[in-house]
């Protein structure tokens, strides 16, 4: 009897400690607030958005200093500083909201493991449909063909994969302006990197359309990394557009950003 009581007491203590773990944070969503994330090198943080919410675009000020990767469902974002004192801003646009972040790394930062957003109660779907009316033809097309292009004949499928096979996407192609990557269902998405003129690897800006990740620009080579594993995608098609450099990504992120919800 005493042993059973002791086991129950220890279990209760464990649950209480877990509930009070300062490394797991809940934040109420407020479109007018900037969320500060303090990071430390070699410690990855997970930003968790709503279950029915999907990331559409991520823009980061200094893409050389922070690694940012979405999950397959596009409702989680994994962020990790690559430099000890890296500081920048990040904007995440989903199909429901726009989020503004300050990313600050330091050696003495308290590691954050999970940042989970909570939201105000919203009208039931039936009420929202009644208020908004029927979807337009353009909205239906965007849902059913999220990566549609004007002329499929213009797509370039001449991409070759090398390295660790489990990191490679099932499909890779470009339309001359953007590169499309699609992984098999259930597969984790690795970090997506390109090299600048000096050969330094850095993350790129991307959007998520359905099950496809759309990388801004058409680089000649894309590097995929997950821990110590690496793979490379090589574009052997005709040169059409230069890959965006980290400096170009920084310039784009300095443009005015609307704080309105999407």
* pLDDT of the residue at 119: 92
Q: Write down the pLDDT at residue 240.
A: 60
Residue 61 has pLDDT above 60, yes or no: yes
Report, as an integer, the average pLDDT of 27-31.
92
- Give the CATH number for residue 85: 2.60.40
Mean pLDDT of the chain: 77
> Which percentage of the chain shows pLDDT scores above 70?
71
Q: Is 122 found in the same domain as 85?
A: yes
Q: pLDDT class for 9, splitting at 50, 70, 90?
A: very low
Tell me whether strands 66-70 and 212-216 are parallel, antiparallel or unpaired: unpaired
Q: Which residue has the higher pLDDT, 65 or 9?
A: 65
Q: What CA–CA distance (Å, rounded) separates 2 from 142? A: 63
pLDDT attached to residue 239 = 67
Q: What spatial distance separates the first Cα and last Cα of the chain, rounded to whole Å?
A: 57
Phi-psi domain of 77 (left: phi exceeds 0; alpha: psi -120 through 50; beta: other): beta
**pLDDT value for 256:** 45
Which one is predicted more confidently, 213 or 138?
213
Q: Any idea what the Cα angle at residue 57 is, between residues 72 and 161, rounded to 5°?
A: 50
Whether 138 maps to a domain, the answer reads no
Residues 143-159: tens digit of each pLDDT: 444 455 545 667 888 89
Render pLDDT for 77-131 as a digit per residue (tens, 0 to 9): 999 999 889 999 999 999 899 999 999 999 888 888 999 999 987 655 544 444 4
Q: What are the backbone dihedrals phi and psi of residue 55, each rounded to the nearest 5 degrees, phi first?
A: -70, 130
Predicted pLDDT at 135: 52
Whether residues 172 and 207 share a domain: the answer is yes
Q: Assess if residue 134 is contained within a domain.
A: no
Round to whole Å and give the CA distance between 78 and 60.
Answer: 13
Q: Is residue 68 part of a domain?
A: yes
Contact 215, 179 (CB under 8 A): yes
For residue 10, being part of any structural domain is answered with no
Asked if residue 2 has pLDDT above 80, the reply is no
Mean pLDDT of 36-65: 90
Residues 115 and 217 in one domain: no
Domain boundary residue among 128, 162, 191? 128
Longest dimension (CA), the chain: 76
Q: How many domains does the chain have?
A: 2
pLDDT of residue 176: 87
Residue 161 belongs to what domain range? 150-251
Tell me: do 154 and 242 sit in the same domain.
yes
What predicted TM-score, i.e. pTM, was given to this entire model?
0.50
């Amino acid at each position: 009897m005493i042993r059973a009581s002791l086991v129950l007491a220890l279990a209760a203590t464990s649950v209480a400690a877990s509930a009070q773990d300062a490394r797991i944070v809940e934040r109420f969503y407020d479109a007018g607030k900037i969320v500060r994330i303090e990071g430390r090198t070699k410690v990855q943080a997970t930003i968790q958005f709503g279950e029915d919410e999907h990331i559409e675009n991520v823009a980061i000020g200094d893409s050389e200093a922070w690694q940012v990767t979405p999950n397959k469902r596009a409702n989680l974002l994994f962020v990790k500083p690559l430099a000890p004192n890296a500081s920048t801003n990040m904007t995440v646009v989903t199909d429901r909201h726009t989020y503004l972040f300050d990313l600050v790394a330091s050696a003495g930062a308290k590691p954050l493991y999970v940042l989970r957003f909570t939201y105000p109660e919203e009208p039931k779907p039936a009420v929202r449909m009644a208020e908004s009316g029927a979807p337009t033809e353009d909205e239906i097309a965007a849902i059913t063909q999220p990566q549609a292009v004007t002329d499929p004949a213009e797509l370039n499928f001449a991409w070759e994969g090398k390295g660790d096979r489990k990191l490679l996407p099932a499909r890779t192609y470009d339309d001359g302006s953007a590169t499309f990557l699609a992984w098999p269902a259930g597969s984790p998405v690795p970090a997506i990197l390109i090299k600048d003129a000096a050969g330094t690897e850095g993350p790129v800006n991307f959007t998520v359309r359905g099950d496809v990740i759309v990388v801004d620009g058409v680089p000649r080579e894309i590097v995929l990394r997950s821990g110590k594993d690496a793979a490379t995608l090589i574009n052997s098609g005709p040169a059409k557009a230069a890959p965006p450099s980290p400096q170009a990504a920084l310039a784009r992120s300095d443009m005015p950003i609307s704080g309105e919800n999407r």
